[in-house]
Structure 1
Amino acid sequence: MFRTPSDTQLRARVKLLGNLLGNVLRPLEDGRVLEAVEALRKGYIRLHKEDSPTSRRRLEKLIKSLDAETLTHVVRAFSIYFSLVNLAEESFQHQTRRAQVRLGGPLWNGSFDATLRGFRAQGISAAELQTLLDQAAYIPVFTAHPTESKRRTVMEHLRRIFLTTEQLDDTRTGKDRRLELVSQLEGQIQILWKTDEVRSNKPQVRDEIKNGLFYFRESLFKAVPETYRYLEKAIDRVYGPELTAGQRIRVPNILRFGSWIGGDRDGNPFVTPDTTVLALRLQKREVLRYYLSEVVNLSHVLTHSKRLCTISAPMAASLAQDEQRFAAVFGDYPQHFGQEPYRRKLYLMRYRLQHNLNAVDALIEGRSGTPFVDSYPSEQEFLADLTLMRDSLISHGDHTAAHGELQDLIRNTETFGFYLVHLDIRQESTRHTEAVAELLAQQPGLPDYSSLSEVQRLELLGDLIGRTQNFSISREPLSETSRETFEVFEVMARMRHEISPQAFGSYVISMTHAASHVMEVMFLASLAGLAGHNNNGWFCHIGISPLFETIVDLEHIQPVMTALLDNPAYAALLGCYGNLQEVMIGYSDSAKDGGILASAWSLYEAQTQITALARARGIECRLFHGRGGTVGRGGGPTHEAILSQPEGTVRGQIKFTEQGEVLSFKYSNAETAVYELSMGMTGLLKASTSLIREQKQNRADFLGVMDKLAEDGETTFRGLTDRTPGFIDYFYEVTPLTEIGLLNIGSRPSHRKKGDRSKASVRAIAWVFGWAQSRHTLPAWFGIGTALQVWRSNDPQRLATLQRMYREWPFFRALLGNTQMALFKADMGIAARYAELAENTETADAIYQTISDEYHRTVTEVLSIADATSLMQETPQLALSLARRNPYLDPLNHIQVLLLQRCRDESLPQVERDRWLSSLLRSINAIAGGLRNTG
C-alpha cells in the first residue's frame, strides 16, 4: 500500500540537504566556515529550547570575531539552506497530496474533488455547475515589485535540484541509483553555492520582463492544461453518474493571466512607451517558441496513416487549401508526409508559426523590411487548425489521441493566445489631468480645464469624447511627461493590431480620487482611436480600472463610482466594452495609511458598495485585488482570501496581483503551480454560488462590531505612526530600509519622492519589507490587540461574540488567521536588538516598548478569541515550517544588526564600512528567504 508521507520523511530530507550543503562548505577556509555555521546553528537551536544569557553573549562574540569574507560565507550558507528547506517542503507537500490521491479517500479542502462533492451535497445540479463554470474567470496578474530577490539563474538551479529530489522519492529507485542521485544533488548544490545570488547590477525593466517569462516556460505551460485535466476528471467522478446519455459538463476557458511588468509606470521612470512595446513583443516571442516546440512534438505523436484511417472532410479540405496556398513549404519533397495527413498539416503549421516568430524577432532586433506574409494573422486561426485536427481524430475513433497532448496545446492556446498575458497599464491620476489640461489648452474655444469643477469636467469630457475627430494635436508644446502619457495610448492602439486585440488587460489609474480621473483616461484613449463615437455609434477598446488605495479613497468609492457610472457617455462606452466595470482596491497603501484593521474593513465595505452600485445599474463588476505577499499587504492563502470576501461580491470573476517572492513560491515548479491554480479556482467557484443560489445576508451584529474595531484599530495605528515624535526616524534607523534601496532587486525606486522620509513617501513594499527584516512585522498586526481589548472590555459575553465571529464569519477568521502568522514571524527579543541601532535611545526605547506591549496584547487577545494555547495551533504544518526556520533566522538577524552598526558607523573609514556592505546586502536576501512572504 502507498503510505502518506510523514513529517519524519521531511525531516530526513531536510537533514540530507543540510548535510550535502555541509559537504560543500567543508573545504572553505580550512573548515572555518563550516565550523562557524555549525556553532551558530547549534547554539541558537539550544537557545530556542532554553535561554542562556551566557550562551547568547558567546554567540554574539563569535559573530563579531568573524572577518568579512567568512561572514559573507556564513550568511550565504544560511541563505542557501533556506532555499533548500523551501524546496524540501514544497516537494513534501506535493508528495503528500499525491499520496492522498492514490489512497482514493477524501482529498484536501480546496481540491476539485472535495469542492465538487461539497456542491453535490448542497444540491447544486449539473446545469447549475455549468452556469458557474461558464461565468468563471480566474486572473492572477504578475508584477515586478521589488521583493523577489532571486536571480533567474538561481531559480533555474533550484528547479533542477527540485527535480532531482523528486526522483529520490520514487519508490522504484534502487540503492545504487539513490547513491547516484545523492551525488548528483551534492554537485547541484555545489554549483548553486558557486553562483552569486546577488545581482552585480540593478535590474533593468527588460530583466524583470524576462524573469516573469521564466514561470511560463518552466512551469505554467505544463501546469495550465494539467489543472484543467484534474478539473475534468473530478467532474466526471462526481457528476458523471447523474448525467444522461449525450449530456456533458463542458469546462470553458477559466484561467487567464495578466502582467504589470513593462506596463506599470506609476513611480517608475524606467517604464517608457518603448518598454511596453518590448514587453509585448517578448511575451509574444515566448509563447510562439512554445507553440513551435509543441507542434514539432505532436508531429511525432500524430503519425496516423490515411491508409488506416479516414480524416474528416473539413480536415481534408483545410489540408488541401494549405497545400495549394503554401506550396513552397515542401520544396523538393512535395510528397513529404504524403500518407500522414496530421504530420503534413503540422508541418505546414510549423512553417507558418516560424514566420510569426521570425517577424517578432525582426521587430525586437530592430530589423524591418522583411515580409512574413505566410504567418498566422491571429491566434484564432492557429486555434482553428488545432481544433480541426482534434475533431478529425474524434471522427475516426481516436479519442485518446484527441484529448492528449493536442488538447493540452488547445488549452494553452485558448489561455495564452499570441500575447501570453494581458498586459495592464498603470499610471498615476495627476499625470492624466496634466496631459488633458495641456491638450485642451491647444483647442480654441475650450475653457481652462484646471479651473473647472468636478461636475464641469465630467460634462466637458463626456461631450468631447464623442467628437475627438475634430481635434488637432500638436506634440511640441506638450511637456515631456504629458507627451509620454499620450504616447502610451498610441502604443496601445498600435500594439492591439500588431500583437492581438487581447494584448492588453486594464488601464489602471492609481490614486483615483474623482470620477473625472477615469473620464480623463477615456478622453486620452479616444484621441488615440481606442474609444469614441463614429458613424456606427459608440465604440470602446479599452477597459479602465480605477484604483482606490488609501482609507479616505476607499470611503469615497461610492460617490466617485456613482458619478462615473451615471455619466451618459461613460455608460454608453462601458456598454460597448461588454458592460463590465473593473475596480481595483489597494491593500498595501490603505494598510500603511490607517493600519491593518481599518484597511481590511474599509476594503470590505468598499467591495459591498461598488458591487451593489453596479448591480443596480445592470453592470457586471469585477474586483481587482492589489494584494501583496505578506499579510500587511493583503497576503495570505488565496483560497481562504477569496472565501473571506463579502457575500455576493465575487460573481464568477476575480483578479489579483501576484507579487515578489510569491511568484517563485507558487509558480517555480509545475507541481506546485497546479495546486495553487486549483485552490484559487475552487475558491472562486465556492465564492460565486450567489450566481445560482440566493445570497446569504451579512450578519448585522457582526458588522457593527467591526465598525468599532476598525475605528479603534486605526486610532491606535495612527497614534504610533503619525503622532508619535521620532517614529519615522525609528523606522529608518532600526530597519535596513536605506540598505534595501542599495540591493539590486527591482527597477522601481523605494520612495515615491526622492529624499522625502515621510510615511506617505515610502512605498508600501519597502515599508513592509523593512519591518519584516527587523522582525517587528507591525504593519500586519499593530492596533488589533488594543481594538479587541477595548471592545471586549473583560465582558465574557463580548468575548463569546468575538469567538462566534471567528467560527462563523470567514472574513474575521481569515483576518485573525493571517494575524497569527504575522505574530508568529515577529520576535520582540530580536526587534529589541534592532532598536539599539536608533540614535535617540530614550525615544527609541519608548517606541519599542509601545510596539512590544501591543504585540503581547495582540497575542493574548487573538489566542482568547481563537480559543487556542499557541499561535497557529489550527495550522500545525505551517507552524512547524516556520518554527523550523527560527533557529536559522536568529543568527542572521544578529549578524545583520552587527553589519548595520558597522556600515553606518561614520567614525570608520569609508573603505572599512564598504568592506561589510556585501555581507549586509546578502543578509537581507537570506532573511527574506527564511521568512518567505515578506513584501
Structure 2
Amino acid sequence: MKTLVKDKPLRRRVKLFGKLVGKVLRARAHGQVYATVEELRKGYIQLRKTPDATKQHKLERMITLLSPEVLSEVIRAFNIYFSLTNIADELFKHQRRREQVHKGGALWEESFDATFRELIKAGLSPQEIQALFDNLLYIPVFTAHPTEIRRRTLMLALRRVFLAAEKIDQRGLSWVEQAELEAALEAELHILWKTDEVRLRQMHVEDEISNGLNYFRESLFTAVPLAYRAAERTIRRLYNDSTQTPIIVPSFLRFGSWIGGDRDGNPFVKPATTIKALRLQKVEILREYEHRLFELSDIVTHSKTFCQPTEELLQSIERDADLLTHNGLYAYNEHIFEIYRRKLLMMHTRIKNNLEATEARLNNTLTGMMIADKERIGYTHEEEFLADLRLIYKSLLSHDDQAVADGSFKDLIRLVETFGFYLMKLDIRQESTRHSDAVAELLKAQGIDYQALKEEERLKLLVQWLQAEQSLLSPAAQWSELTAETLAVFQIMHDMQEEISPQAFGSYVISMTHSASHVLEVLLLAKQYQLVDPKGHYCHVGVSPLFETIDDLNHIEQVLTTLFHLPFYRQLLHASGDLQEVMLGYSDSCKDGGIVTSSWLLYEAQKKITVLAEKHHLACRLFHGRGGAVGRGGGPTYEAIISQPAGTVHGQIKFTEQGEVLAYKYSNPETAMYELTVGAAGLLKASSMLMHKHKSFDVDSHYIEIMNYLAKQGEKQYRLLTDHTEGFMPFFYDATPVAEIGLMNIGSRPARRRSDNPSKYSIRAIPWVFGWSQARYTLPAWFGLGTALEKFCDKETDNLLKLQKMYKEFPFFKSLLSNIQMSLFKTDMDIARRYADLCSDKQQATKIFAMIKAEYDRTEQYVLKVADITDLVEDNPSLQLSIERRLPYIDPLNAIQVYLLGQYRQTTAHGDTEEAKRWFDPLIRSINAISAGMRNTG
C-alpha cells in the first residue's frame, strides 16, 4: 500500500507552472506546437494509466508528420516543463524543511539536529563531540565531466525563476500582489523560452572553469556561512549550557577542483590552463572579500568614544596606516575614532591591491615591478588576512559585542578559513604511463634503460634518485613534447604555490595506478622542481593513487603495502602529516565488471586501506570518485557516507561532484546549504563509530560471504553480456544515442580514449552511462544483480530470508538495493525495445535485447522479494511520486528521439549534410530534455 505524500503545495506550484508555460507557448511558439504538446502530454499520461497499442501507434504516427523545426519547439516545451518541475520540487523540499524548523523539535534524519540527538543518545560526551568536530573535514571536489549539459546562461535564468516562484509563497499577499508576482514569473518564462538551451559551439576548458566558479558566486558564498551557523545553532540548543565548556565548531568545509587540472585524456588542459584556473579562482574569492569588507565597514561603525578596542588592534591599525601612507595611498584618517571602520577600509585597500595584482597577471596588463608593488601593499598570504580578521573579532568580544562579532563578521572569517586565497584546492590528474615515460626519458639521458627494469629494480632506482642531491634536469636537454609538458606541470605547481597560496593544490592523482613505482615516479618528477626534499624534510605534493578497474581494486593491498614498507616514502609521508590519501574510481570499475562487483570491491577496498594505514600508524583519507548516476557511484550523499564500512571513515572524506550533480546541489543557496549540512552530518555520524568500538559495528561474516558470492555471480553475468556476446558494442552504439552525444558541445574532453576504437575499454564511463540512460535501459546501474540474487536463492531454501535479513541489518546492502531500485524504476523496457529496433543487425539485436530484458525482469523480481515490497521505491514515497510525475512527460520525448535518430542516421548515411543538420538540431535538444527529466544522466 502506498504511503500518502502531503504535497498539495507542490501540485499547486506544478499546476501554476504548467498554466504559465501554456501561455508562453501560445504567445511565442509555432502555432502547431501548443496543440502537439497538449496531445502528447495527455496521450502519454493516459498510456501510463492504461496501455493501448492503437493509441500509442497514433501518437507515434503524429510525431512522424512533424517537421524538424516544429519538433525542436515541442522538445523545448517539454524541457522547460522539466526544469520548472525540478524547481518546484526543490522549492517544496526547502519549504518543508523550513516549516519543520519553525515548529521546533527534532528535524529530518540527515540534519545536524537529528545526528546530534542520536550521538547524545549513544552516550557521546561533549568532549567526544568536540574531538569529532576537530577532526572533521568535508571536501567536495568539483569536476568538469560533461554530464551537465545545460548552459550557464540557462542556469542563471532558472535561478531567477526559483526566486520569483519563492516570492509567490509569501503569506498575506493581496490579490494584486499575487497577480503582479505571477506576471513577473511569466516574464521570466518568456525569457526562458527565448534562451537557447543548446551550446552553439564546443565547450573549452575556460568555459568549464567559468561554470565552476559560478556556483560560488551565485550560491556557495552565501550557503557556506549558513551551514556553519546551522551547526552552531544545533550545538547551542542541544549541548552548551552554563556548566559545560562550550563546544567550538571549527571550519570543517573545504572545496577541491579538477577543472583546469584534470589532464587525463584531455589534450586541451595545458600548463597555461592550470595557471589560468588558479588565477581565476583567486580573483573570484578576492572579489568576494573586497565586497564583504566594504559592506562591513558600513556596519561595524563603533566609535572609540563608546568602546575600548584591544591594544593589538590599535597597533595593527597604525601598521596599516604606515604601509598605505608610505606607498602614497589613502589611510582613512577621517575615521580616526571609528577604529573598526578604518581598519576594515584599510584591509579593503590591501585586498584590492591583491586583486589588482592577480588580475594583472591574468590579463598581462602590468609590468612585473608594478605587480610586485601591489603585492607588497596587499596581504602576503591568507593567514595574514585571517589574523587581521581575528584581531577585530577578539577586540569586539573584549567590549561585549559578541552579537556583532558572530554576525556577518564571523561569516567572513568562515569564508577565509574555508577558501583562503585559492578558493578551491586544484587537484592535478594524469595517467600513470605519462610519468613512466617521462622518468624513462630523464633516466635515459643518464644512460639508464628504465623501461627494461622489473618493478623491484625500478623501486630501488627511484628511491636512489629521490635521495640524490643531483638533478635529472639539464639546461641543454631536449625533451620530447609530452615529457616537456609533463615536467612543466611540476614547475607550475612550484610557482603557483608561491604566487597563489601554499594551499593552492590538493592532490596529484595518478589514474591507472598499477604499481608502487607509479607513485614514486611522480615524486621523482616533483623533486626536480624542489617540491620534494631529497633528505625527506618536506614534501609539497600529496600523491593520491587512483584505483579504478576491477583488477586495480584487487591489487590495492599489494601496492600500498609496498609503499608503506619503503623508509624514504614513509619519511615523506611523515613530513606531510602522516596522511595517505587514496582515490577509488567508481565509474570505470562499474563499467569494467558491473555494479555488484564494483560496489562490493570498493567497499572491501576501503576496509583493506584503513587496516593497512592503521597497521603502519598512518591517517588515511579516502577520495571517492563518484558520478551522478548510480552506475557511476551516484546516490544520496548522506546514505552513501553512513553506508561506508564501519571504522573506515575517520572524520575526513573527499569526493567528486560531477556534471549535473553540481547544478542540482549548488545552483541555489537554500539547497546548497542543505546539501553541505547533510554531508557533514553523515560524516559526523559515520566517524562517531570510532569513539566506541563495539562488536555491533562489525559486519556479520555471513554477510561478507554472501556479498562475495553475489559479486562473483554478478560480474560473471555482466561480462557474459558486455565482453563475451558477439555484436554487443555495435548494439550499444546503434541502440542508444551515445555517438550523437559525442557530437554535442557539452565538454572539452573527448568521449573516447581512442577515436578509432569503439570497444568497451575505449568508451569513457560517462558516455557509457549517459547513452544507456537516454535510451531508458539504465543498464550499468543494475545489470548482473538479478542473476546473482537468483543463483543465491536457488542454492538453499532459506537463502531469501537471509537476504531479507541482510537488507535490514547491513547498511551497504540496503543502500545498494535502494539506489538500484531508483534506476529500475526509471528503466522502461518497452521504450528501450524501440531503440533496439534502430540496430542494423536485427537478428543480433533481438538476441541481445532479450538477454537485457530477461535480466531486467529477474532483477526487478528479486529486488522486490529481498526488500519485501510490492512496488519499486515504495519505501521512499516522495521519490516514487517525483519520478512518476516525470515519466509520462519523458515517454513522448523518447518516442521523438527514436524517430529523430532514425532520420538523422538515414540522412547522414546518404550524405545529405544539410538535411542531416535539420534533424540534428531537435535530436540534441531531445538529449537535453530527457536529461532534465531523468535528472541523473552520467
CA deviations on 1:881-919 (whole Å, 9 max, x unpaired) are: 111000110010010000000010024733222211000
Give yes or no for the alignment of 1:12 onto 2:12: yes
CA deviations on 1:436-486 (whole Å, 9 max, x unpaired) are: 000011125xx3111111011111111111124443424753111111011
1:167-246 to structure 2, matched below 5 A, reads 167-241=167-241, 244=243
Give yes or no for the alignment of 1:551 onto 2:558: no
What displacement does 1:100 show? 0.6
Match of 1:916 among 915, 919, 925: 919
Give yes or no for the alignment of 1:719 onto 2:720: yes
What displacement does 1:415 show? 0.1
Letter matched to residue 873 of structure 2: M
1:53 aligns to what? 53
Asked if the contact 2:135–2:652 (Cα under 8 Å) also holds between the matched residues in 1, the reply is yes
SS in 2 for 1:240: coil
SS in 2 for 1:424: strand
User: How far apart are the structure 2 equivalents of 1:282 and 1:377?
Assistant: 18
Asked if the contact 1:531–1:540 (Cα under 8 Å) also holds between the matched residues in 2, the reply is yes
CA deviations on 1:803-824 (whole Å, 9 max, x unpaired) are: 0110000000000000000101
Asked if the contact 1:630–1:934 (Cα under 8 Å) also holds between the matched residues in 2, the reply is yes
1:452 aligns to what? 453
Letter matched to residue 275 of structure 2: V
User: How far apart are the structure 1 equivalents of 2:5 and 2:330?
Assistant: 58
SS in 1 for 2:319: helix
CA deviations on 1:642-684 (whole Å, 9 max, x unpaired) are: 1111111111111000000000000000100111111100111
What displacement does 1:690 show? 3.2
Asked if the contact 1:469–1:527 (Cα under 8 Å) also holds between the matched residues in 2, the reply is no
Asked if the contact 2:331–2:346 (Cα under 8 Å) also holds between the matched residues in 1, the reply is no
Match of 1:443 among 442, 446, 449: 446
1:898 aligns to what? 899
SS in 1 for 2:10: helix
2:253 aligns to what? 255
4+ long deviations beyond 4 Å: 328-334
User: How far apart are the structure 2 equivalents of 1:679 and 1:79?
Assistant: 29
SS in 1 for 2:747: coil
What displacement does 1:604 show? 1.1
2:730 aligns to what? 729
Asked if the contact 2:283–2:358 (Cα under 8 Å) also holds between the matched residues in 1, the reply is yes
User: How far apart are the structure 2 equivalents of 1:541 and 1:330?
Assistant: 37
User: How far apart are the structure 1 equivalents of 2:745 and 2:153?
Assistant: 15
What displacement does 1:795 show? 4.3
Asked if the contact 1:78–1:888 (Cα under 8 Å) also holds between the matched residues in 2, the reply is yes
1:697 aligns to what? 698
User: How far apart are the structure 2 equivalents of 1:517 and 1:802?
Assistant: 41
Letter matched to residue 564 of structure 1: L
Asked if the contact 1:458–1:567 (Cα under 8 Å) also holds between the matched residues in 2, the reply is no
2:310 aligns to what? 312
SS in 1 for 2:800: helix
1:429 aligns to what? 432
What displacement does 1:533 show? 2.3
2:69 aligns to what? 69
Give yes or no for the alignment of 1:269 onto 2:272: no
Asked if the contact 2:30–2:73 (Cα under 8 Å) also holds between the matched residues in 1, the reply is no
Letter matched to residue 613 of structure 1: L
User: How far apart are the structure 2 equivalents of 1:488 and 1:331?
Assistant: 38
User: How far apart are the structure 1 equivalents of 2:731 and 2:168?
Assistant: 49
Give yes or no for the alignment of 1:615 onto 2:614: yes
Asked if the contact 1:306–1:339 (Cα under 8 Å) also holds between the matched residues in 2, the reply is yes
Asked if the contact 2:564–2:570 (Cα under 8 Å) also holds between the matched residues in 1, the reply is yes
Asked if the contact 1:5–1:92 (Cα under 8 Å) also holds between the matched residues in 2, the reply is no
What displacement does 1:691 show? 2.8
User: How far apart are the structure 1 equivalents of 2:230 and 2:383?
Assistant: 26
Asked if the contact 1:743–1:921 (Cα under 8 Å) also holds between the matched residues in 2, the reply is yes
CA deviations on 1:273-307 (whole Å, 9 max, x unpaired) are: 10000000000000000000000110111011111
Letter matched to residue 273 of structure 1: P
How many matched pairs? 926
What displacement does 1:29 show? 5.5
Q: Percent identity?
A: 53
User: How far apart are the structure 2 equivalents of 1:520 and 1:339?
Assistant: 59
SS in 2 for 1:625: strand
Asked if the contact 1:651–1:690 (Cα under 8 Å) also holds between the matched residues in 2, the reply is no
Asked if the contact 1:132–1:691 (Cα under 8 Å) also holds between the matched residues in 2, the reply is no
TM-score (norm. length: structure 1): 0.98
Asked if the contact 2:278–2:422 (Cα under 8 Å) also holds between the matched residues in 1, the reply is yes
Report the CA distance shift for 1:55/1:378 in structure 2 as closer, same or farther (over 3 A): same
TM-score (norm. length: structure 2): 0.97
Report the CA distance shift for 1:296/1:6 in structure 2 as closer, same or farther (over 3 A): farther
What displacement does 1:172 show? 3.4
Letter matched to residue 99 of structure 1: E
1:670 aligns to what? 669
2:877 aligns to what? 876
Letter matched to residue 162 of structure 2: F
Asked if the contact 1:219–1:669 (Cα under 8 Å) also holds between the matched residues in 2, the reply is yes
Letter matched to residue 760 of structure 1: Y
SS in 1 for 2:937: coil
User: How far apart are the structure 1 equivalents of 2:523 and 2:879?
Assistant: 46
Report the CA distance shift for 1:30/1:458 in structure 2 as closer, same or farther (over 3 A): closer
Asked if the contact 1:720–1:727 (Cα under 8 Å) also holds between the matched residues in 2, the reply is yes
2:25 aligns to what? 25
SS in 1 for 2:107: coil
User: How far apart are the structure 1 equivalents of 2:20 and 2:798?
Assistant: 56
1:721-800 to structure 2, matched below 5 A, reads 721-793=722-794, 795-800=796-801
Letter matched to residue 901 of structure 1: G
User: How far apart are the structure 1 equivalents of 2:779 and 2:92?
Assistant: 31
Letter matched to residue 180 of structure 2: E
CA RMSD of aligned residues (A): 1.4
Match of 1:325 among 323, 331, 343: 323
Unaligned runs of 5+ in 1: none
User: How far apart are the structure 1 equivalents of 2:857 and 2:40?
Assistant: 28
Asked if the contact 1:132–1:652 (Cα under 8 Å) also holds between the matched residues in 2, the reply is yes
2:301 aligns to what? 303
1:683 aligns to what? 682
1:86 aligns to what? 86
User: How far apart are the structure 1 equivalents of 2:476 and 2:213?
Assistant: 35
SS in 1 for 2:239: helix
SS in 2 for 1:584: strand
SS in 2 for 1:621: strand
What displacement does 1:31 show? 2.9
1:294 aligns to what? 292
SS in 2 for 1:648: coil
Asked if the contact 1:315–1:389 (Cα under 8 Å) also holds between the matched residues in 2, the reply is yes
Report the CA distance shift for 1:320/1:916 in structure 2 as closer, same or farther (over 3 A): same
Give the stretch that moved more between structures: 447-456 or 755-764.
447-456
Give yes or no for the alignment of 1:360 onto 2:358: yes
SS in 1 for 2:334: coil
2:126 aligns to what? 126
User: How far apart are the structure 2 equivalents of 1:475 and 1:698?
Assistant: 60
Give the stretch that moved more between structures: 853-862 or 692-701.
692-701
User: How far apart are the structure 2 equivalents of 1:170 and 1:5?
Assistant: 23
Report the CA distance shift for 1:475/1:78 in structure 2 as closer, same or farther (over 3 A): farther
User: How far apart are the structure 1 equivalents of 2:331 and 2:492?
Assistant: 43
What displacement does 1:108 show? 0.5
Give the stretch that moved more between structures: 597-606 or 757-766.
597-606
User: How far apart are the structure 1 equivalents of 2:18 and 2:67?
Assistant: 24
Asked if the contact 2:75–2:929 (Cα under 8 Å) also holds between the matched residues in 1, the reply is yes
